[in-house]
Each structure stands twice: as C-alpha cells, then as structure tokens.
Amino acid sequence: MADCREQVYSDEFFDFIVSYEETNEQTIAGACIQRIDEGYDIFYYPREGLPPLSVGSYSYSEIPKCYGLLDQTALEVSGILKMQNQPVLALKGRGVLIGFIDTGIDYTNPAFRYSDGSSRIVRIWDQTIQDGTPPVGILYGADYTREQINAALLSENPYDVVPSRDMNGHGTFLAGVACGSESENGDFIGAAPQSEIIMVKLKEAKQYLRDFFFVKDGVPAYQENDIMMAVSYLNGVANILNRPLVICVALGNSAGSHASEGFLPSYLNYICGRRKRVVVTATGNEANARHHFQGRIIGEMEHEDAEITVEENTKGFFVELWASAPELYAVTIISPSGEQIPRILVRRGASEQFNFIFEGTTITVDYRIDTKETASQLIFFRFIRPTPGLWTIRIFPQLTVTGNYHLWLPLRELTDGNNFFLRSNPEITLTSPSAARQVITVGGYQASNTSIYADSGRGYTITGEIKPDFVAPAVDVYGPGLLGNFITFTGTSAAAAITAGACAQIMQWAIVDQNNTVMSNTSIKNMLIRGTAKPENRTYPNREWGYGTLDVFGAFQNLRL
C-alpha cells in the first residue's frame, strides 16, 4: 500500500486510465492499480524501460489529459432568491449534498458553518496530503470527516488537526457561491445555503504530463484520472449517507473531439444515470481565444491551410485535428521560413518526427483512427521549441464525404505562449467534459445588462448536439475570498456553481420533500431548460445561449401548468 501511494505521487511512474473490460494479466503485471469504479482503473507503471510518452506509443484515451480552472447580483436574476424566500417552498438545498472537485476549501470561513459554529462540510478528501489516512479503497490523499473538521474549528490551531488548505481560492469561492451561508450583515447568501458540502482538493498534475502538454510553469493543472477518482469518491460518500448529490465540475480542457466521448465525459454520463445524482459542468472561457479552426474541403480544392501565429519564447504547444468517420485527411507542415516536410499519408498508428533545420524546431505527428471510444480520425501534433512566426498546417483530403474537420489548440489558461489560429472560429469552443451528453452544461452571461459573456465557450458539439443547455451569470459574481472577505469573480466556473445550487433547490423539493422522488438528472435538466428566460431578438436554441438564461422560479412556474 505504501509503495503504491508513492507511485501515485512520483514522477517516475506513468499514469494510465484503462477500461476495466480491457484489463488482463499482462497489463496488471508490475503495476499498482487503483479502481475508479465499475468501468475504469488507473494503472501506475515505472517509466524506466518504457517508451517516452507519446500518442504514437500509447493510446490517446489512456493518457490522462491536464485540466485547468475555468476562471476569468447573480442569484436574483436566476430566480434563486425567489425560491429561497417563497414562504411555502423555502428551497435552500436542505438535505442535499453538493460536491466540488477543485482547489480545496477554507473550512474555517463562516460561509461554511451553521449558526452554532459547527461545520456544514461533511467530508474533505485532500489528494495533496501524502501522510494522512486515505479514503477506504483509495491509495492516496487524506480523508477528513465532519467530526474532525468540527474538532479543528474548536482548536486553537485548526490546521494542526485538519491541515487541508485552499491556497488558490477557486474552490472556496465556488462553494460559497453555490451554498454559502448568509453573511452577518446580510449582503451575501449562496444559492443553496442549507445544503451540505463535500470537497475534493485535487493534487497537481505530475511534471512529466505538464511537460508533455506544455503546461505553463506555476499554472494549476490537474490530471483526468484524479478528477475521475474524485467523482467516484463523491458518489461513494453520497451512497453511504443515502443523500442526493449535485457534482459541480468547473474544470476543463480543449482536448478531444468535442463530442460526448472520452473517459471523463463517459464516466460523468454514467454518474448522471444513477439515482439522486446530478452533474453540472461549465463550457469554459475559450470563445475568444482563437484556438479553434473549422475547415472544409469541397469541390476541386486540393488542400486547405490552417495558419498558427506563434509567439516568441514559446517552449512548445500541441494541436489536435479531428475528423468524424469516414473522413480521412493527410497533412504537411510549413515553417515561417518556408521549409516544408513531405506529406504524411494516412496510416493506422503512424508516428513521425521532423526536425526543421533553419528553425531549430522539432515536430512530432501521430495519426490515430478508431480510438478507444470513437471511429474519428485524430492527428496529434507537438511543436517543440517553435520559432516565432506563422506556421502552416496544410490539410489534404484522402477520403471525404462532408469535407469537414476541426483543429484545436490547448486551453488558454494552460498554454505556453499566446498562440492562435489566423483564421479562427469561435463556435465549438466548449471545453471537455462539458460536451458530455447527459450533464447539465452551463455557459455564462453578464447579468447587469443581459449580454453574453464574450469568452463563454460556445456549442454545439461536433456531432450537432445542443450545448450549452443554458447560461447563468458569470461576470463579476460576488462570493467569499480566502481572507474572510468577499470578492468578485468572472468565468463560467461561477455560472456552474450558481447552477449547482439551483439543482440542489430542485432536489430538495423533489427528493428530500418527496414531491417527485424519481426525479433524475435528465428530468432536472429538462425542467431548467423549460424554465429558462429568453432575452428577445434571438432564436433559441443557439450556440451562445443554449435555450436561454437560468430561471429556477420560471422552472417551478411551469410545473403549475
């Protein structure tokens, strides 16, 4: 057990996410294994003797992606205060758990306590603490119960008893917005102030993954497998307590096909199908990042160029090209000085490395067809030490029906350097896992003037499914900071937190108060969609607003019809 815990944290071990049905004796040998749930395992392999990490050497799906934080008067416009203050219903999330997967929580903040000073936090699993007692069945981190948290609050030095801290503030803010208690002066209250909280503080991604994905130094980044493990933990605690649970996932990345595919989206879809479970995700803040290129080769076109402007002192970056089956494309790359590599023809599992002599740049190109969960074509590019200037990826059709394909650069918050497509498209910029089919996907808008938050990730998915489902306030949202003060915050993370609180209100009415005990994630999502307010002069649904703006009061009004 101790050896396996060391492997979880050590940069000398690769992490792989593996579908449970694919586990066999050969893959088990020499690896520590962490079960996520019925469908997935995490394998920890010694790096020594294994090929370097690449999409060519390993399955794209099994390499954990790095996820970043989605940050950059809200409750009244969302109809939440009306439902809190409605004299008969008085919906404040009583009896409902809200789970967060984030940077931790300042458990000493009055926003997370009852009037008697005791904690509203049921559990904290801090993945970063290596010498504590981990949750049952989990190899790593430290698990703290409400009893321990209350003991800490009564202590002269609370962090000697429960040493978990939020050093970033993101998790504390979101938990406060979703379910913070009313402040003493009455100028703040969370959306579901009587709900209870479970917090998972994620550990930072291993350095080898940060290097592989060129994550900027000092920027928080978290591994997909740790997020999946956090979801499993939250679901397990709710099972033990037999309580309804809302999970707020305010993390994202630009990897994947931007459809309801991939291990984390698939796992969230599975959780959404469980009784008394709801999952809320944010669309991210990529609409104006210029990180999406949408291409189409039709008619007599021989090729199309996707040009990327690369900033000076960029250590590297990656690009993913995705095309839905049966489309197939070949590529070549042209440097700023005009140096060009030969066209790389489509071959299943092909992997090539090219050195640009005059630029001093190395580029690896990996082809993947029929990945674990999709028959789409993936071409994965890694640019290492790219010289500044205009790089061109030239795309050639080999088998086309629609001629459509897409390229994405990594999440703006994680990118090393300000690199962007010269001809970009702000559509289909929602981040993973918000394209997951079953989850409630929330974009952001500015409540003060009812305008869209310009950076809010846009739909639809690559397969045409309507996302976001709706939008919620995301600009200058007011909530608790780390110093016992209150701050404003902009980003679709805030929209997800507000919506998580709204879902807790509905779950209180439906399940705790027993008005509709079979209400599911899908029925809550549909109830909120039907209740959305629809600012005039636009057609719904659409790629920016989804079906409209969050209005919980409107959702309940529709139940009376």
More confident residue, 8 or 371: 8
Backbone dihedral angles phi then psi of residue 536, each to the nearest 5 degrees:
-70, 170
Amino acid occupying residue 523: S
pLDDT at 535: 86
Distance in angstroms (rounded) separating the CA atoms of residues 279 and 99 = 9
Q: What is the pLDDT of residue 73?
A: 44
Give the separation between CA 551 and CA 532, rounded to whole angstroms.
5
What is the per-residue pLDDT for 80? 66
Sequence-distant (6+) residues with CB within 8 A of 289 are 409, 412, 420, 429, 455
Q: What is the largest CA-CA distance in the chain?
A: 76
What proportion of the chain, given as a percentage, has pLDDT over 90? Answer: 75
User: In the predicted model, is pLDDT for residue 188 greater than 60?
Assistant: yes
Tell me the percentage of the chain whose pLDDT exceeds 70.
Answer: 92
Q: How confident is the model at residue 26 (pLDDT cuts 50, 70, 90)?
A: very low
Q: For residues 514-522, give the mean pLDDT.
A: 93
Q: How confident is the model at residue 247 (pLDDT cuts 50, 70, 90)?
A: very high
* pLDDT, average across residues 100-110: 97
pLDDT band at 186 (very low <50, low <70, confident <90, very high): confident
Q: Domains along the chain?
A: 74-287+432-514 (3.40.50.200), 292-421 (2.60.120.1290)
Q: What residues are annotated to the active site?
A: 102, 170, 493
Q: Which parts of 117-175 are beta strand (E)?
A: 121-126, 142-145
The answer to whether the bond into 220 is cis (omega within 30° of 0) is no
Beta partners for residue 408, in sequence order: 292, 320
CB atoms closer than 10 angstroms to residue 443: 33
pLDDT, position 510? 95
Position 313 pLDDT exceeds 80 = yes
Supply the pLDDT for residue 16.
94
Q: Tell me how far apart the alpha carbons of residues 384 and 390 are, in angstroms, rounded to a whole number.
A: 15
3-state percent helix, strand, coil for the chain, nearest multiple of 5: 25, 30, 50
Position 85: which residue type?
N
The pTM (predicted TM-score) of the whole model is 0.94
Average pLDDT, integer, range 288-301 = 94
The whole-number pLDDT of residue 558 equals: 86
For residue 261, what pLDDT band results from cuts at 50, 70 and 90? confident
Which one is predicted more confidently, 174 or 412? Answer: 174
> What is the predicted pLDDT for the residue at 28?
53
Which pairs from 557-560 meet CB under 8 Å and 24+ separation? 557/531, 558/527, 558/530, 558/531, 559/527
pLDDT at 546 over 60: yes
Q: Which of 40-44, 431-435, 484-488, 526-530 has the lowest mean pLDDT?
A: 484-488
Split at pLDDT 50, 70, 90, the class of 412 is: confident
Average of pLDDT values for 178-206? 93
pLDDT at 372: 56
Q: What pLDDT is recorded for position 135? A: 96
Cα gap 431→284, rounded to integer Å = 5
- The model's confidence at residue 192, banded by pLDDT at 50, 70 and 90, is very high
Strand order in the sheet with 32-35: 13-19, 40-46, 32-35
Q: Is the model's pLDDT at 226 over the cut of 80? A: yes
The answer to whether residue 417 scores a pLDDT higher than 50 is: yes
Region of poorest pLDDT, from 179-188, 388-397, 430-439: 179-188
Amino acid identity of 453?
Y
- Cα-to-chain-centroid distance, residue 185: 34
Place of tokens 């394909």: 405
Please, what is the average pLDDT of the chain?
A: 91
> Span 524-551, mean pLDDT?
95
Would you list the DSSP string of 51-115? Answer: PPS-TTTS-TTTSPPEEEE----HHHHTTHHHHHH-TTT--S-TT-EEEEEES---TTSGGGB-T
Each residue's pLDDT tens digit, 318-362: 999 999 888 899 999 999 999 999 888 776 667 889 999 888 999
CB 64 within 8 A of CB 204: no
pLDDT greater at residue 123 or residue 78? 123
Residue 82 has pLDDT above 70, yes or no: no
Strands 251-252, 66-69: pairing is antiparallel
pLDDT of residue 185: 82
pLDDT at 270: 95
Contact 546, 470 (CB under 8 A): yes
**What pLDDT score was predicted for residue 27?**
53
Tokens of residue 479, six digits? 């909530």
**What pLDDT is attached to residue 484?**
86
Q: Name the pLDDT band for 25 (thresholds 50, 70, 90).
A: very low
